[in-house]
Structure 1
Amino acid sequence: MTSTDLARTVLTALIEAGVTEIVVAPGSRNAPLSFAAYDAAAAGLVRLHTRIDERSAGFLALGLSKNHHRAAVVCTSGTGVANLHPAVLEAAHADVDLVVVTADRPARLRGTNANQTTDQVGIFGPLVPTQDASVSIDLGTTGPVHLNVPLDEPLVPDDRWTPSVTAGSPARRVRPAVHVALEPGPRTVVVAGDDAGPPARMLAQDGGWPLLAEPSSGSRTGDHAIRTYRLLLGSSLGERIERVVVCGHPTLSRPVSRLLGRADVQVIDTPTRGVWPERPFPVSERLPVVPSAAAADSTGWLDEWLAADRSVARRLDALLAAEPDLTPHEVAGAVARALPPGGLLTVGASSPIRDLDLMVPRYEVGVRRKVIANRGLSGIDGVVSTAIGASLARPESTRALALVGDVTFLHDANGLVIGPGEPVPDLTIVVVNDDGGSIFTMLEQGAERYAAQYERLFGTPHGVDLGALCAATRTPHLRVGSLPELEQALASPNGGIEVVEVVVRRDNRRSLDERIRALRP
């Protein structure tokens, strides 16, 4: 089989497996695949995206896949494949249906020092097995799939391809047809981590229990969501918890981790996505599905949490308002308020998602606000590209926003390099710029005893002019320093991709965090 024929066979399999988006990074060895993707896009079977950086290409495909599209990323051999690894690992741990198609040298060159030749079989490790596309192709599974395609010269086609392909649907995720009901009794809370989905909210609602939901859980709606839960967990109210139902992948909060590790708390686990279903905390009971509640709690337990939440939230808002300078929490709050019904928000790791966690209002049920984040491995890499991909995959969104820190933004500034004619979403990227890594000020490394080493090793000031950086890619940029300026910027988007840089302090971040954590009902 010629390389052109093999490439067209691969594209046919992708389309039949429900792939609708293909991201191509340029290269010579993957030229047959690129030509085939171009012809498939010309036939209206897929949407084609090109990126010059494989890491950005991988995260763009990841973002497209996170919004219920099945995307494939195609790259050439050698280091280009290695640059896909961060996105592939995130997809594996978050169980995202990403297809990775890597061009390889032909078998006769493997094991030699031929140019751009390395061992690509199993390059992503045991979490993502490799399929040799010249032997067989199986795309009927969920999660990331790696197709390695050995291609020999000639690498260009003699003709255009008119695909005769019937587009398929992605593999369906089938939930077990079982029903489990929890009896009331123990003082219960529902912890909803990343990708927990509506079942967590419904369980809390039916059981009359507090809902401790992370912003990207897909559960943080309704009257039972507790905004300041991580502060309340350190109070006497948190100490009285007797049972926790865990949904999704909780990653944000040390108070939640401590709760789940308590010997006096019954932890009921429900299925979570990702390659490792084993939890890092003791589990009392594992259920095959998110349960329902047999009856609602009538002890007033939820009312205690709601009253405490209102009290602490008022004091938190007052504390922040009294600060002489704009705080990162207020930035997160402004972004959360600016997200309209039907909107999409992509959140970066580190401080922004934790700040957002304290500031998200109690959104109403059923209005299709969607908050996503790369919480499989919680990296700061590729977030700009993920946000662009997610926005492109959800064109029906009323508004697309992203909230990231400055280091996260710089880590994927290449995501703004988009060529002419490429699909571009309407996306406002809010960059909280405190000139470095503020997350570490709130951890052990930020203690006074490490002050001499801190700034060089963890604070990492960069002094980058973000406006000039954006100008290099012709990305509109606005720098603001106050809450009214930010709110005005968020209220008047200009279309396309734009960056709103919000300047905040970092030198007082540890003190501010200590004062926030000291708030109690």
Structure 2
Amino acid sequence: MAGTSTALARMVVDELARCGVRDAVLCPGSRNAPLAFALHDADATGRIRLHVRTDERTAGFLALGLALGSGRPVPVAVTSGTAAANLHPAVLEALHSGVALLAVTADRPPELVGTGASQTIAQAGIFGGAVRWAGAADRAAGPRTRSAVVRAVVAATGRSGTPPGPVHLNLPFTEPLVPGPDDGPVPDGRAGDRPWTDVTAVHRTPAPLPLDPEARTVVVAGSGGADVDLPGDVPVVAEPSSPLWPRALRTGPWLAGRADLRPDQVVVVGRPTLHRDVMRLLGDPEIAVYAAAGPQGEPWADVPGSVRAVGAVPALRPPAGFTARWRDADAAASVVLDKAFAAGDATVGLRLARDLVAAQPDGTQLVLGSSNPVRDVALGAAPRTGVTVRANRGVAGIDGTVSTAVGAALVHDGPTVALLGDLTLLHDTTGLYLGPDEPRPDLTLVVLNDDGGGIFHLLEQGGPEHARAFERVFGTPTGVDLGALATAAGIAHTVSDGRQEDLVAHAGQGIRITEVRAGRDGLRAAHASLRRAIRDGE
């Protein structure tokens, strides 16, 4: 029988594999050495594929991307102290996007907490209400260890009837922290390769929404949510990370504020966050707003407090004249957009988004950075099938996007392309550094480099009255040479003018950066001009 800490770690890893874990992320450390050895052994035997990173924040988002892309729970194992705290951004994103992330943190024994011992903090409850479940294993490996792992995985995956999300398993390890010569295998537990406790998933059947199926209806779809079955003529205004985006109107976000297209009722699917005109539509007191129930009991989105009921979406039959007006308006607005692109009057970001989405072969995975990239795709690209779209829209931060894309690419059967801004890339440069023995993804990072925060030009801060302070505290130019950065990371780098052939994701090429350079001057005016032209039908 193995020593206490070695046995505990081996049992935890064994039970994770029994519960369906196929990928795990590890950061090096002393206190989590038992986990490092156990995960290394699991990788060597083909039970769990191991990914090693040196930065805990990067590691957390890598695990998030692996879980997001695979639909499986993914643990990230770190040592004690600030290492655990650095997982908090990824934990928050996982919470608000419903991703099964397992924060597995090594800890000092409880008697050392508060004594001044090195790398020792009060880790129990460190993530507060940001996790679906939190617990600790006994120091000695045994049935309660396996039971705790099962509870963690069930809570993370939502099989207990609660929404999926992150969990925290804290493991107090005592010395010795490395396996000794007399250590033997950990008992397998019950026969077979099933979890210690096999939990049947809970399924929900919500009642239909009490709406008028023949009223003038628009469906607003945000990130996540169910893939609702809708007739082809119902106007859908969808964000790119929604399952409904492939069948959405191309210019729906531009049209949401038009008085001549105003609906009687709106059905919200998922969590819309991108467009202010959509938020105003949902906040209109004269419009009846309903929310589609999430498939796993997720909380419904209702920022204005206008939702009247939550349930299943019945068959919708809006008036033909109403749906025709939306269809005609979308066609006219698409002409305005493409005319502006052809004339060079539109922003580089919108045109780049249109061309990048159109250029990808079927089977491509597209990861969108927050700030302008996801909005540029929503406002400039034509929705399409054949592309799987991912985005961190839970908390919508720019941190960890490179690592999320790497993780999603590693579990995708095909190439992946990510559209990012330069600040988003710089926020996660450690995500570019993979050790020589690490699995490598097929990932093209298309970076729109406008040397700063372009999105602020489109917000209140970008108004001319704030010009004196704007560039330093909002524009935040860095002047970083992305080619030199790529060289330091040992990855390929090219500069492109946005030609479609430069934007295509290719299998077998590892990580590469395609840089598209642009300025930020005129960004605010270009968006305002397009909005007026679409509103006026010009």
Amino acid at match of 1:403: L
Give the % identical residues: 44
Cα deviation for residue 185 of structure 1 reads: 2.8
Segment of structure 1 superposing worse, 426-435 or 161-170: 161-170
> 1:48 corresponds to which residue?
50
How far apart, CA to CA, are the structure 2 residues paired with 1:325 and 1:315? 10
Matched, 1:177 2:195: no
> 1:203 corresponds to which residue?
230
CA deviations on 1:203-232 (whole Å, 9 max, x unpaired) are 253xx310111000021123xx21111211
How far apart, CA to CA, are the structure 2 residues paired with 1:78 and 1:308? 56
> 1:89 corresponds to which residue?
92
> 1:355 corresponds to which residue?
376
Contact preservation (8 Å) 1:92, 1:274: no
Matched, 1:462 2:462: no
How far apart, CA to CA, are the structure 2 residues paired with 1:405 and 1:505? 12
Segment of structure 1 superposing worse, 320-329 or 137-146: 320-329
Amino acid at match of 2:409: S
CA deviations on 1:362-416 (whole Å, 9 max, x unpaired) are 324xx4x21010000000000000001001111x22x211001110010001100
Q: 2:35 aligns with which of 33, 36, 39?
A: 33
> 1:412 corresponds to which residue?
428
Q: 2:137 aligns with which of 121, 128, 133?
A: 133
How far apart, CA to CA, are the structure 2 residues paired with 1:457 and 1:385? 26
| RMSD over equivalenced CA pairs, Å | 2.2
How far apart, CA to CA, are the structure 2 residues paired with 1:514 and 1:493? 39
Matched, 1:194 2:223: yes
Matched, 1:448 2:464: yes
Amino acid at match of 1:251: T
Structure 2 counterparts to residues 147-296 of structure 1, below 5 A = 147-158=169-180, 164=188, 166=193, 174-178=202-206, 180=208, 183-199=212-228, 202-205=229-232, 208-222=233-247, 225-238=248-261, 240-272=262-294, 277=300, 279-289=302-312, 291-293=313-315, 296=317
Question: CA 1:190–1:325 in structure 2 vs 1: closer, same or farther (change >3 Å)?
Answer: closer
Cα deviation for residue 492 of structure 1 reads: 6.3
Cα deviation for residue 275 of structure 1 reads: 7.2
Question: CA 1:492–1:16 in structure 2 vs 1: closer, same or farther (change >3 Å)?
Answer: closer
How far apart, CA to CA, are the structure 2 residues paired with 1:417 and 1:177? 45
Amino acid at match of 1:479: V
Give the secondary-structure state (helix, strand or coil) at the position aligned to 1:318.
Answer: helix
CA deviations on 1:440-496 (whole Å, 9 max, x unpaired) are 11000011111111111100000000000010010100012x233x53453767611
Cα deviation for residue 507 of structure 1 reads: 1.2
Structure 1, unmatched stretches of 5+, are none
Give the secondary-structure state (helix, strand or coil) at the position aligned to 1:126.
Answer: helix
Contact preservation (8 Å) 2:130, 2:166: no
> 2:141 corresponds to which residue?
none
Contact preservation (8 Å) 1:69, 1:393: no
Number of residue equivalences: 505
Matched, 1:512 2:526: yes
Contact preservation (8 Å) 2:60, 2:87: yes
Cα deviation for residue 267 of structure 1 reads: 0.4
Question: CA 1:172–1:342 in structure 2 vs 1: closer, same or farther (change >3 Å)?
Answer: farther
Cα deviation for residue 79 of structure 1 reads: 0.8
Matched, 1:434 2:450: yes
Segment of structure 1 superposing worse, 138-147 or 152-161: 152-161
Give the secondary-structure state (helix, strand or coil) at the position aligned to 1:198.
Answer: coil
Contact preservation (8 Å) 2:206, 2:293: no
How far apart, CA to CA, are the structure 1 residues paired with 2:382 and 2:137? 48
Cα deviation for residue 297 of structure 1 reads: 2.7
Give the secondary-structure state (helix, strand or coil) at the position aligned to 2:14.
Answer: helix
Amino acid at match of 1:463: G
Give the secondary-structure state (helix, strand or coil) at the position aligned to 1:421.
Answer: coil
Amino acid at match of 2:33: A
Question: CA 1:420–1:374 in structure 2 vs 1: closer, same or farther (change >3 Å)?
Answer: same
Amino acid at match of 1:279: D
Contact preservation (8 Å) 1:39, 1:161: no
How far apart, CA to CA, are the structure 1 residues paired with 2:410 and 2:180? 33
Structure 2, unmatched stretches of 5+, are 139-143, 159-164
Amino acid at match of 2:48: V
Amino acid at match of 1:44: G
Amino acid at match of 1:82: A
Question: CA 1:236–1:275 in structure 2 vs 1: closer, same or farther (change >3 Å)?
Answer: closer
How far apart, CA to CA, are the structure 2 residues paired with 1:73 and 1:321? 47
Structure 2 counterparts to residues 48-127 of structure 1, below 5 A = 48-67=50-69, 68-127=71-130
Q: 1:496 aligns with which of 504, 510, 526?
A: 510
**TM-score, normalised via structure 2 length:** 0.89
Cα deviation for residue 516 of structure 1 reads: 1.8
**TM-score, normalised via structure 1 length:** 0.92
Contact preservation (8 Å) 1:53, 1:414: yes
Q: 1:483 aligns with which of 475, 498, 503?
A: 498
Cα deviation for residue 179 of structure 1 reads: 5.4
How far apart, CA to CA, are the structure 1 residues paired with 2:199 and 2:529? 48
Contact preservation (8 Å) 1:209, 1:301: no
Give the secondary-structure state (helix, strand or coil) at the position aligned to 1:212.
Answer: strand
How far apart, CA to CA, are the structure 1 residues paired with 2:231 and 2:241? 17
Question: CA 1:212–1:197 in structure 2 vs 1: closer, same or farther (change >3 Å)?
Answer: same
Give the secondary-structure state (helix, strand or coil) at the position aligned to 2:455.
Answer: helix
Amino acid at match of 2:484: A
How far apart, CA to CA, are the structure 2 residues paired with 1:90 and 1:171? 26
Cα deviation for residue 306 of structure 1 reads: 1.1
Cα deviation for residue 9 of structure 1 reads: 1.9
How far apart, CA to CA, are the structure 1 residues paired with 2:198 and 2:332? 46
CA deviations on 1:293-318 (whole Å, 9 max, x unpaired) are 1x533432211111111111111111
Cα deviation for residue 321 of structure 1 reads: 2.1
> 2:410 corresponds to which residue?
392
Contact preservation (8 Å) 1:54, 1:80: yes
How far apart, CA to CA, are the structure 2 residues paired with 1:167 and 1:363? 40
